[in-house]
Structure 1
Amino acid sequence: MTKIIGIGNALLDIIVPIGSDEVLRRAGLPKGSMQLIDNETRLRLQEMLSGFSSAEAAGGSASNAMQALAHLGGQAGFVGAVGPDRYGEIFRKCCGEAGLEVRLMQMDEATGIATTLVSADGERTFGTYLGAASLMAPEYITERTFAGYDYLFVEGYLVQEYDLMEAVMQQARQAGLKIILDLASYNVVCDHYDFFRHLVSDYVDIVFANEEECAAFTLVSDPYEGLDALSEHCALAIVKLGSRGAIARYHGGDVFFADALPGCTVTDTTGAGDYFAGGFLYAMSRGADLTKCLQAGSLLGGTVIGHLGASLPEEKWHEIRLKMKDILNGRF
């Protein structure tokens, strides 16, 4: 079976349903965005949210995707950095329970925290304190970092560190891995547009994007035209269309489509794109065609949005694994 390792920010998600978006205005966080914050701002945000209920779970885009892949039975790993604290231990424990091989660097800095504000419509907004994750540097990345794996899944949130991203891409290539990039967030793509174009054109084989990220990268608003434009830069492009399903295209090939999972109740969209990637990559690792890969992604993405946070109970994973068998056997 194909082995896939992810690299990204090892973060503990603190998920807070907020009801009114007035909280976002007071916090200075644009709805649906990911904003990097310093520790002082994180503490102010924590105080502002002290009266709200919350939940904790291991997070970070690449970590979520790889945990989903491992829960399905895929061979997956994760590279990141945590601190010597309770949050770092929670992160390790969650990854281990998922069956994920972790290659974590321990830094003398607090584990990163993604404060995830969930609006009444399920849209999530992130105030992210990177902490130890921000200390992951090029000198820590060697060919041995990715040894034993076939693909590297890179979260686009790492793009703020240009030297690190270059080192990751170069070492993965030298180790013989193919590279998968998730575009992360529309505002991240806009802020680092030229560098994203360079990475995709020079290193990346597979790109995941949602509609907004695809439009930000290609400067084309129509998602189908955007998919065509995106696939000109890589071997395979996937664009997620939310409730309208997902589309994919190999470079120079036909467009494939799959519907969204029917009957989804949106509680929290945290991790939806990450879980989509995990499901898609699991089916891909089993040799499935693009339609089945898209269906697998929609199954996971459509399931996780019915739960608070990017984690699912074991009984739900059992149900998902049965449905995944149906997808792979053409019975979905």
Structure 2
Amino acid sequence: MSQPSIQVIAIGNAIVDVMAPCADALIDQLGLVRGGMTLVDTDRAKELYDAMGPAREISGGSAANTLAGLAALGSRCAFIGQVADDQLGEVFAHDIRAGGISFATASRAGDPPTARCLIFVTPDGQRTMNTFLGASQFLPSAALDEAAIARAEVLYLEGYLWDPEEPRAAMRRAISAARDAGRKVAFTLSDAFVIDRHGDDFRALIEAGEIDILFANHVELAALTGHEDFHLGIDALKAKVPMLVVTRGEHGAVAATGGALYEVPAVPVERVVDTTGAGDLFAAGFLHAHVNGHAPEACLKLGAICAAEIISHYGARPEANLRDLAGPLA
């Protein structure tokens, strides 16, 4: 097996985040699922956008956010995701390439437009996301760069993108390409609603040994395993996945691997401004340490450092110098 020239290649939604602060009352007024992620159609996206206050546009998408963190830490990264041939598509492509991430997926002509996520941030920093998937849900298998996948140490897949049929088929093909090349596959469950719809698929992938690193939060762990008790959920999966990583918000994170359980506390922050992207950046820190040969506890620690940076400001892309924060773990 040849040495990998890319450390992490990811497949995910290519989304531009549109973020605005809001009062708690607006969440109820609009009938939103507080703290969750809901898929919306064109009409609902327009209704929500019209209800927003002054907003910021920041390139996002879960896996793309993770790559932004990885690249900021110094990892060699590439992204596969579908944008439309429109202004937001150009914004997304510019932002990801400016971050040092290879992005060669061709833009898609015509409708639907590039995906966007309308994010309402309440005073406690909680984010309520409403995603119009647009062009991102039409990523075809033909768009995969299988040679790049074969050159990457880790293929990282975003659970959100499992929902639409076309990219789901593309990700299955990508898993086969990574497996054929002897590479690792990492998967993030993304949200409990995705598990509600595709949990059988995910459990089948796990049972078949197709996933080497599984990322989840405590809510997703319960949805996947059926165990509300956190430790029972860990016990149900730890023998089936070589590396199981579960975040618990302010209670820190754990990793189960090789028959051992590792745990680190959350890194304290002066004020939680916006939790958007906390899990994405945790995965970035963890994977960066992992591909650079650090032990599980150090991987968890860097994940916690990156998550703390992201929740201290608006947006899911790092603003502070992550390499400085990481210190020797970078």
TM-score, normalization: structure 1? Answer: 0.91
Aligned-pair CA distance for 1:208: 0.5
Q: 1:11 maps to which residue?
A: 15
Segments of 5+ residues of structure 2 without an aligned counterpart are none
Task: After superposing the two structures, state which structure 1 stretch, 153-162 or 137-146, moved more.
Answer: 137-146
CA deviation vs aligned residue, 1:113-142 (integer Å, no higher than 9, x gap):
011111222121211111110111234336
The answer to whether 1:146 aligns with 2:153 is no
- Contact kept in structure 1, 2:35 and 2:126, CA below 8 Å: yes
Tell me which residue corresponds to 1:64. Answer: 65
Alpha-carbon distance in 2 for matches of 1:10, 1:296: 25
Q: Distance in 1 between matches of 2:161 and 2:75?
A: 24
Choose from 217, 223, 226 the match for 2:233.
226
Partner AA of 1:117 in structure 2: F
Shift of 1:158: 1.3
TM-score calculated relative to the size of structure 2? 0.92
Q: Which residue of 2 aligns with 1:34?
A: 37
Q: CA RMSD in A?
A: 1.7
Higher mean alpha-carbon deviation, 55-64 vs 225-234, is at 225-234
Q: Distance in 2 between matches of 1:264 and 1:216?
A: 31
Q: Match of 1:323?
A: 325
Residue-by-residue CA offset, 1:1-48 (whole Å, 9 max, x unaligned): 86110100000001121121x323343331122111111211111112
Structure 1 residues 327 and 168: CA distance shift in structure 2, 3 A: closer
CA distance in 2, matches of 1:271, 1:305: 8
Who is 1:81 aligned against? 82
Unaligned runs of 5+ in 1: none
SS at match of 1:87: helix
2:290 counterpart of 1:284: yes
1:249-288 equivalence runs, <5 A: 249-250=256-257, 252-288=258-294
Q: How far apart, CA to CA, are the structure 2 residues paired with 1:72 and 1:17?
A: 29
Mean CA deviation greater in 187-196 or 159-168: 159-168
Q: Tell whether 2:296 aligns with 1:294.
A: no
CA deviation vs aligned residue, 1:126-171 (integer Å, no higher than 9, x gap): 1111111011123433623524211100010012134333223223
Find the counterpart in structure 2 of residue 129 from structure 1: 132
The reply on whether 1:208 has 2:210 as its aligned counterpart is no
**In percent, how many aligned pairs have the same letter?**
34
User: Which one of 211, 233, 255 corresponds to residue 248 of structure 1?
Assistant: 255
* Cα distance in 1 for residues equivalent to 2:31 and 2:148: 38
Does the Cα contact within 8 Å between 1:228 and 1:249 map onto a contact in 2?
no
Aligned length: 320
Deviation track 1:78-102 (CA, whole Å, cap 9, x = no partner) reads 1001111121111112112211111
C-alpha distance in 2 between matches for 1:264 and 1:237: 29
Q: Which residue is equivalent to 2:312?
A: 306
